[in-house]
Each structure stands twice: as C-alpha cells, then as structure tokens.
Amino acid sequence: EPEVTQTPSHQVTQMGQEVILRCVPISNHLYFYWYRQILGQKVEFLVSFYNNEISEKSEIFDDQFSVERPDGSNFTLKIRSTKLEDSAMYFCASSYRGPEKLFFGSGTQLSVL
Amino acid sequence: RKEVEQDPGPFNVPEGATVAFNCTYSNSASQSFFWYRQDCRKEPKLLMSVYSSGNEDGRFTAQLNRASQYISLLIRDSKLSDSATYLCVVNRLKNNFNKFYFGSGTKLNVKP
C-alpha cells in the first residue's frame, strides 16, 4: 500500500538553528499538509499546499516557517531559527482530492534544546 | 465555539465491552467525516470514513447525523489492542479550499 514517508524520524537541534523536515507524499496525491502535535495535545494545522502554492497557513506558521515542493516528489518544511516551543512531532499528510481522507507520514520528532 | 468537539475521556472499559464515542461539529457546511486512531507518539491512522447512511467495518460502526451535526463511533467486543486515542476529523470548504478540522481526541483504555 502506498504511504507517506518522512525523514528524519528524530531531529535534535540547538535553539536558533535551521531545520528541514522532509516528506515524500503518495505519488498521485495533489494536496499536501503539515501538522504538528505537542505531546499530550491535539493535532494542530500548520499549512496546506496545492498546485505549487500555499493555500492556507495557520497563525503558528509565521515568517520562520516555509514549505517547498522542489522536484515534484519531495515536500519540505523549513524552520529558519528554531525556538524551544517548536519542539513537537511534525506530521506530513497528503490526499488525492480535497475532501478525501488524509494519509499521514510517521512523523518527525523535533527536539529543540 | 470549537469546530469539532469530543469528550476527551478517558474511557476505561473491560475487554469485551461495547463502547461509544461521540463527536459534534459546528459548521453545517462540513462535507466529509472520518474517524482516525492514534497510538501514543504515532501518526493518526484512518479507521473509517463516515457516511450519511452509516457504515460498519467488523466490530466498528460509524454513524452520521447531519441534522444534529453529530458523529458517533461504536466499538463492539473491545480488545486490548483497541486502546488508543480516537480522533474525529471533519472536512469542509474554507476559502475555496478543503480544510480538515481535528477534534482533540477521545482516549480509550481497554483493561483485561
């Protein structure tokens, strides 16, 4: 069964450093998302991406965050200058059509020290 | 008002019990409905989509009541492996783009 893959599974970084989280969505999917989840809390929307542009972003997705789909297969989330409060599990997700079910990657656990 | 609301639980039930979770959504324009299962420190995994006519998959039954804006999940003959958090997820158009709204999840503990 096709799946969304994310790398790395764990990332430890120092505050102020840049991190890039990588995702390969399911190949025929058209809609891409990043979510994050702080331990014990709910899944929070960060950004959605369709037709090579951001379609919506949340208030969490400030100027320190950016997304790219550089080559038609990878979908990356960059945090330019990490803060302690960016520590969370980051999930990439994709869907074939807008209202259809989301498929999630296994996540990247980001720890900012 | 939250877009999707769920009872956080936890629901502590013995093996073999039947348990039901409820979820309400605030926007009547919502168009797709799902139950996801999430194990601790893992990604949400689709359990089932929810259709207006109701649908069943083995021990799991989902119901949708559009008039009351209410979704339910029934688990029969609970297994220890059913212990997880169950997320209610709703999709609707927002600014011409489909957006998913997540409930905070209902935690289920199935005890031997």
Mean pLDDT of A9-15: 97
Mean of the per-residue pLDDT values of chain B: 94
- Minimum CA–CA partner of B35 in chain A: A101
Which of A101, A106, A109 to substitute to test the interface with B, most B CBs within 10 Å? A101
- Is B2 an 8 Å CB contact of chain A? no
Q: Hey, what are B79's tokens?
A: 């297994």
Per-residue model confidence as pLDDT tens digits over A20-56 = 999 999 998 989 999 999 998 999 999 999 989 999 9
**pLDDT score at A72:** 79
Grade residue A82 by pLDDT with cuts at 50, 70 and 90.
Answer: very high
Mean of the per-residue pLDDT values of chain A: 94
Query: Which of B1, B6, B8 is CA-nearest to residue B103?
Result: B6
**pLDDT score at B98:** 82
Pick from B41, B98, B103: CB nearest A98: B98
- Minimum CA–CA partner of B94 in chain A: A56
Cα separation, A91 vs A81, in Å, equals: 19
**pLDDT score at A108:** 98
- Is B97 an 8 Å CB contact of chain A? yes
Grade residue A69 by pLDDT with cuts at 50, 70 and 90.
Answer: very high
SS (H, E, C) A4-57: CEEECCEEEECCCCCEEEEEECCCCCCEEEEEEECCCCCCEEEEEEECCEEEEE
**pLDDT score at B94:** 79
- Residue B112 CA from chain centroid, whole number: 23
Query: Which of A34, A45, A51 is CA-nearest to residue A93?
Result: A34
Which of A36, A43, A58, A104 to substitute to test the interface with B, most B CBs within 10 Å? A43
- Whose tokens are 């120092």? That residue is A14
The β-bridge partners of A51 are: none
- Amino acid identity of A17? Q
- Amino acid identity of A31? Y
Pick from A39, A45, A106: CB nearest B43: A106
> Is A104's CB within 8 Å of B43's CB?
yes
What three-state secondary structure class fits A85? helix
The C-alpha of B78 sits at a distance from chain A's nearest C-alpha, in angstroms, of: 24
Per-residue model confidence as pLDDT tens digits over B67-78 = 999 999 999 999
Strands A53-57 and A108-112, by their bridges, are unpaired
Does the pLDDT of residue B96 top 80, yes or no?
A: no
Mean pLDDT of B34-53: 94
Q: Around B63, how many Cα atoms within 13 Å sit in the side-chain half-sphere?
A: 10
**pLDDT score at A97:** 79
The C-alpha of A80 sits at a distance from chain B's nearest C-alpha, in angstroms, of: 25
- Residue A66 CA from chain centroid, whole number: 10
Give chain B positions within 8 Å (CB) of A91: 43-44
Determine phi and psi for B82, rounding to 5 degrees.
-80, -10
**pLDDT score at B1:** 80
Give chain B positions within 8 Å (CB) of A106: 42-43
Does the pLDDT of residue A15 top 80, yes or no?
A: yes
Lowest mean pLDDT among A40-49, A62-71, A80-89, B95-104: B95-104
- Minimum CA–CA partner of B48 in chain A: A101
> Is B91's CB within 8 Å of A98's CB?
yes
